[in-house]
Amino acid sequence: MHLIETRSLCYTYPGNVTALHDINFIAPRNARIAVIGSNGAGKSTLFKHFNGIFKPSSGSILIRGEPITKENTKEVRKFVGLVFQNPDDQIFSPTVEQDIAFGPTNLMLDEATIQHRVEEALRVVGIEHLAKRVPHHLSGGEKKRVAIAGVIAMEPEVLVLDEPTAGLDPQGVADLSRFINSLASKYGMTVIFSTHDVSLVPEVADYIYVMNKGEIVAQGTVQEIFVRADMLRSVRLDVPILPRLLRSLQDHGIDVSMAYTYADAERSLLEAFGRTP
């Protein structure tokens, strides 16, 4: 049984604007899944189906094998935590710790449990020092961490991040990458994120869905997707810079192994030039 599954999911906005067409998507347990596509591909619309914000115009979405209904929506939103692209859409309390406590409080948990969850979420996201701060005085990257912490405090099994690197500086992107990887490796959480920044994907994803104009046009592992340069260009994306560089070296006769992450590319280059990794 998959944690999330969509079957021939379609969605049409008012005015007969088709946003999603025949989407078949699977999220297994303890997975890191990237949904890539240019702006307007349908990524955000798809994500809003995962916890019942949107309902399919046709087709179905199953959470742990069960359809989302009016009766189980609250449970679904505990199970699938969604972080919006703009953190200001989720942050509204006077202090950071109050904002993080909002979700657990709505679950009617006791005060000790709420406090424990807030402290743990602050620690996991690395913002203990911001607990007493006013959220709207924070930087964009800090706000994004607060929004993520608020969802983490609900203890979801699936975390969905809509364009999580938007507005982050390079250090913020690096920090977020490590955070995403820790959620899967340390906490067994399935993480689904969208991006049009393909350079991020090999570092934080096991599996990729490529979207274009509301459809899934390709899916596969990092290795399977990023060898399809023509397909990626056709949807206004590109191969990440590291495999592009290694492919160019291969084309120039240099015996270097293909790699997709920074660590693997470094090892490949060192071996190609007779150095010990």
pLDDT tens, 125-138? 889 999 999 998 89
- The share of the chain scoring above pLDDT 90, in percent, equals 73
pLDDT digits (tens, 9 = 90+) for 199-245: 889 999 999 999 999 999 999 999 999 999 999 999 999 999 999 99
When pLDDT is cut at 50, 70 and 90, the band that residue 277 belongs to is: low
* pLDDT, mean of residues 86-111: 91
When pLDDT is cut at 50, 70 and 90, the band that residue 32 belongs to is: very high
* pLDDT, mean of residues 93-112: 92
170's CB contacts (< 8 A; 6+ apart) are: none
Whole-model pTM over 0.85:
yes
For domain 30-55+69-222, which CATH number applies: 3.50.50.60, 2.30.30.180, 3.30.420.40, 3.40.50.300? 3.40.50.300
The two tokens of residue 31 are: 């997975």
* Rounded Cα distance, 121 and 145, in Å: 10
> How far is residue 190 from each of residues 110, 169, 271, measured CA to CA in Å?
27, 25, 34
Is the confidence at residue 276, as pLDDT, over 80?
no
Under a CB-based contact definition with an 8 Å cutoff, are residues 29 and 3 in contact? yes
* Rounded Cα distance, 235 and 230, in Å: 9
The reported pLDDT for the residue numbered 102 is 93
The ranges assigned to domains in the chain are: 30-55+69-222
